[in-house]
Amino acid sequence: MEVGILAYGGYIPQSRLQRSEIANAHTWFNPGLKGLAKGERAMANWDEDSVTMAVEAARDCLTELDREQISAVYMASTSFPFMDRQNAGIVADALNLNSSLQTLDFASSQRAGSAGLATALQVAKGGSGPILYTTAEKRSTKAASPLELTSGDGAAAFLVGQGKVIARLLGSHTEAVDFVDHFRGEGEAYDYSWEERWIRDEGYLKIVPAAVEALLSKSGVAAEDITTFCFPVAARGVAAMLAKKIGLPESAVADNLQANCGETGTAHSMVMLAHALENSKPGDKILVASFGQGSDALLFEVTEEIKSLPPRKGVSGYLARRYAETNYNKFLAFHDLINLERGIRAETDKKTGLTTLYRNKGMTQAMIGGKCSKCGTAQFPKSNMCVNENCGEIGTQEDYSFAERISKVNSFTADRLTYSPDPPAYYGMIQFEEGGRLMSDFTDISPETDIKVGMPMRMMFRVKDYDNKRGFRRYFWKATPADASNKGE
C-alpha cells in the first residue's frame, strides 16, 4: 500500500506589513536595512498564534474530508504558546476530533517542520489511520534586525497515510549535524544569529547537498528529473546555488515566497510544499529540503489522485486574502515587542478557571452547540431545553458543530469604549443559516472592510484573551467576513 500525502492545506494571515515601513523606522540606526525593504511580510493579528494558524491550515487541509478516521495529530513550531501543555491537543480539540488519537509536538529546531512530516509518514507506514500533521510559526524578532524584515507568519497542514495519495513518498533522508547557525537559549525571547556567509558556505552548501544526494541515491531518481525543489531560505540565490551544485534543473527552484509572505520559520519548508502541490500535475517530482542542525530531504511524486482532491483555499488563496498594513507600531504591539500603555480598561484580571474551561471546552474550543432530535432546531450554546417555542422538549439536544457553518450579520457595532488590542472592538449578533444565534466578536476587520447587515460570515479559531500574569491564553471562535476567497472557491 502506497504511503504519502492524502491532502494539503495552508494559512497565511490577512495583514501584510510593508517592509519599507520597517526599514523607514530604523533608517536612523541601520540604513543598510533598506536593502531588504522590498515587498511585504505576513503579519499575524493580535489574536493569532501558532496554534490558531495551525487550526486554520488544518481546516483547509480537511476540506470535504472525513475527520472520523484521523488517528493522530502532530504539530511543529518553535513558537508554541505553551511550553508545558500539548499544543497539538488544542488543535485536535478545535477540530472536534475524537479523543482516541495520538497527539505530539515537535520543536527546538528550524528542521522540526520537516522532521515532523517525516515522522508522520514513517508512522503511517505501520498501517495506522490517517495522520493530520500541521506546522505554524509566529516568531519574535528584535527590532531593526534583518530577521524582522525577512520573517513572516503562517502555517501548513497535511493529511498523510496509506491509500489514494495525491503525492506518494519516494524516499527520505536525514543528516543530523549540530551546526549552530543560530540559537535561542532557555528563557530568551529572541534568536542569536551568526555570520551569514559562513552559514551559507559551511552550512547550506555542504550539509544540504549531502542529504539530497543521499536521498536521490537511495530512491534511484536522477537530479535532472526533479520538477520542483522547495528549500526555505530567505537569502537570495542560495536555493539556486544548491540546485546547481546538486545538478537540479534551474527551473525546478520554487518561489520562496519572500516577496509577499516572508520565511515562516520551521513551517516554511512545509508552506512551500503546500504551495507547490497547488499547481502540480501527475508525474511531477517534488523535492523538499530543510536546514537546522542538519538537513531533512523528502521526495514525493504527484499522482492522478490530485485531480480529484476537493478545491481548497491553499497558500495562494490566503495570499490573495490580503490587506496592506503600513502601521509598524501595530506590528510591534501585536507581537508584544513594545511595552504599551493599554489603559485602565485593560487591567481586568483574566484568570481562567481550569475546571470551568474543561467543563465547557466542547463549546469554547470545538464550538459544539445543540440540535433538537424532535424538531431539528439548532441552537448555540447547547442547553437542556429546546429554544423552539413550538417545541420546548427537554433532554433532546444532540451535539451539533457550528465551526464550519456560515452565518449572516444581524447587527453589529464598533466600540472604542471597551478595551481592544486593535480598536475599535467589532462585535455583533450573527445568525447561522441552519439555525442558532451568537453575540460574537469579529476579527480580521481591516479599514477597507465594509460590514453590512446580512453579510455572510465564517468562524475562525482565535485567542479570546490573554492572562499575562499567569502566562495563559483562552481560545474561542470569532466571526470574519466570508467572501468567496474564504471558502476555497
> Residue 349: its pLDDT value, please?
87
**Whether 184 and 293 share a structural domain:** yes
344 domain residue, yes or no: no
**Whether 91 and 205 share a structural domain:** yes
> Residue 248: its pLDDT value, please?
98
SS3 readout for the chain: CCEEEEEEEEECCCEEEEHHHHHHHHCCCCHHHHHHCCCEEEECCCCCCHHHHHHHHHHHHCCCCCCCCCCEEEEECCCCCCCCCCHHHHHHHHCCCCCCCEEEEECCCCCHHHHHHHHHHHHHCCCCCCEEEEEEECCCCCCCCHHHHHECCEEEEEEEEECCCCEEEEEEEEEECCCCCEECCCCCCCCEECCHHHHHHHHHHHHHHHHHHHHHHHHCCCHHHCCEEECCCCCCCHHHHHHHHHCCCHHHECCCCCCCCCECHHHHHHHHHHHHHHCCCCCCEEEEECCCCEEEEEEEEECHHHHHCCCCCHHHHHHHCCEEECCHHHHHHHCCCCCCCCCHHHCCCCCCCHHHHHHCHHHHCCCEEEEECCCCCEECCCCCECCCCCCCCECCEEEEECCCCCEEEEEEEEECCCCCCCCCEEEEEEEECCCCEEEEEECCCCCCCCCCCCCEEEEEEEEEEEECCCCEEEEEEEEEECCHHHHCC
> Residue 334: its pLDDT value, please?
93
**Whether 132 and 215 share a structural domain:** yes
110 domain residue, yes or no: yes
454 domain residue, yes or no: yes
**Whether 86 and 207 share a structural domain:** yes
198 domain residue, yes or no: yes
Identify the CATH number of the domain in which residue 224 sits.
3.40.47.10
Percent over 90 (pLDDT), the chain: 92
**Whether 61 and 173 share a structural domain:** yes
**pLDDT in single tens digits along all 489 residues of the chain:** 799 999 999 999 999 999 999 999 999 999 999 999 999 999 999 999 999 999 999 999 999 999 999 999 999 999 999 999 999 999 999 999 999 999 999 999 999 999 999 999 999 999 889 999 999 999 999 999 999 999 999 999 999 999 999 999 999 999 999 999 999 999 899 999 999 999 999 999 999 999 999 999 999 999 999 999 999 999 889 999 999 999 999 999 999 999 999 999 999 999 999 999 999 999 999 999 999 999 999 999 999 999 999 999 999 999 999 999 999 999 999 998 888 888 888 888 899 999 999 999 999 999 999 999 999 999 999 999 999 999 999 999 999 999 999 999 999 999 999 999 999 999 999 999 889 999 999 999 998 899 999 999 999 999 999 998 999 999 999 999 997 444 333
- Domain boundary (296, 316, 334) is at 334
**Whether 302 and 417 share a structural domain:** no
112 domain residue, yes or no: yes
383 domain residue, yes or no: no
**Whether 322 and 441 share a structural domain:** no
**Whether 244 and 139 share a structural domain:** yes
**Whether 77 and 184 share a structural domain:** yes
Where in the sequence is the domain holding 84, given as residue range(s)? 3-334
**Whether 303 and 419 share a structural domain:** no
430 domain residue, yes or no: yes
What global pTM score does this model have? 0.95
397 domain residue, yes or no: no
- Domain boundary (276, 299, 334) is at 334
**Whether 195 and 70 share a structural domain:** yes
Closest CA to 323 of 54, 12, 9: 12
Number of domains in the chain: 2
**What pLDDT digit, counting tens, does each position of 82-103 carry?**
999 999 999 999 999 999 999 9
> Residue 177: its pLDDT value, please?
97
> Residue 53: its pLDDT value, please?
98
Q: Give the integer Cα–Cα distance in Å for 42 and 281.
A: 28
> Residue 314: its pLDDT value, please?
97
- Domain boundary (285, 314, 334) is at 334
**Whether 321 and 439 share a structural domain:** no
